[in-house]
Structure 1
Amino acid sequence: MAYFITLLKLFTMYFKIGLFNFGGGLASIPLLQNELEKNGFMGYDEFFNVLSISQMTPGAIAMNTATFVGNKAAGIGGAVVATFALALPSIIVILILAKVLQRLEKNIYKRAIFFVLKSLTTALILYAGYMIARATWILQNKVEIKTIIISILMFGIAYKKKINPVILIISSGVLGYLGLYIL
């Protein structure tokens, strides 16, 4: 019985996240963190470890997180339920919106709504970046200078050179590894 309650809790939580997840994985970080802590699936530090792994593995961050958390909470069944629950609202909304947007192709209100949604998404992504920076750059009340330097360096390279993110991830890992011994 406890197993089915956990599955129901996972389904409800991830359905809610999927329903209100505007702007993709990074924009959903505040909602993900809040829901996982509130429902007792994981704390602040563990969440950011899972988030790091989810960013490095192929696929959407929220989906990877759902699969990992679901598996941790209830095994394979939990992974399937959490991942399905996260995707289900998008599937439903896309099917409905496709029909509606076809009818409103040149509607001024539609353009206004999309303008606001883009602004909201930008704000949520900036906030997620702030949360990740704070959790990564300050560990146990100590500022991690090496991490800040690597972050700024990778941002500069990504911004100026438009290098493949996989190369940036590998480069960051190498710099981090070397930084343990050099800096």
Structure 2
Amino acid sequence: MDRRRDRNIGTPARKSPRALAFASLGVLVLTGCSGLGGGSNTAADAALACPKVSIVRDLAEVTQFRNGGGRDLTDVTSRAALADYSGNCDYTSDGVTVNVNVFLIAERGPAMQGNTANYRYFVAVAKPGEEAPTTKTEFDTSVTFDAGKLRSGSREELAPKIPLPKDANGKDWKIFLGFQLTPEQLAFNRAQMKQ
């Protein structure tokens, strides 16, 4: 098997000050999380770079409200953000697998009942030169809040595979990460970004 490894999967998308402030709340959750890793060791590995990974700005956060309630701070059940990612990629004779660890942080809201919040996020892959994804896979995850704790988080391990001919370079492919939002949640995010 022709296997090559490149630890650089691109750089995280630039985060808004609001997202950074929210992400800083979960800094303890992410303690010990490594960066994107070092560069390649050989010229062959350097030639086969990893696809660009990014968190979609409008879809990087989700705010959940209680059913039938209003939409102010007292109605929030939980908030979550895709705060960061790290990873690498593996080339084989039939393509490239991108190994991505996505760090999700969550905050309990005043209207939350119980101690678990559920979220849905996606991984989408776009061909070189295209913005519309050719494939999209959705995942469900949950975050449990310990008693008396307002914040928690999880690390989601993903491994999307892009089929490529032998020795083809995946560097121009794109991988997008984001929450799967309802139209109302997306509108809420966009309204918050304008403030």
Place the TM-score, normalised by the shorter chain, in its bin.
Answer: under 0.3
More helix by share: 1
TM-score using structure 1 length: 0.21
The structure in which a higher percent of residues are strand is 2
TM-score, normalised to structure 2, is 0.20
Bigger relative contact order, structure 1 or 2, given CA contacts below 8 A and separation 6+?
A: 2
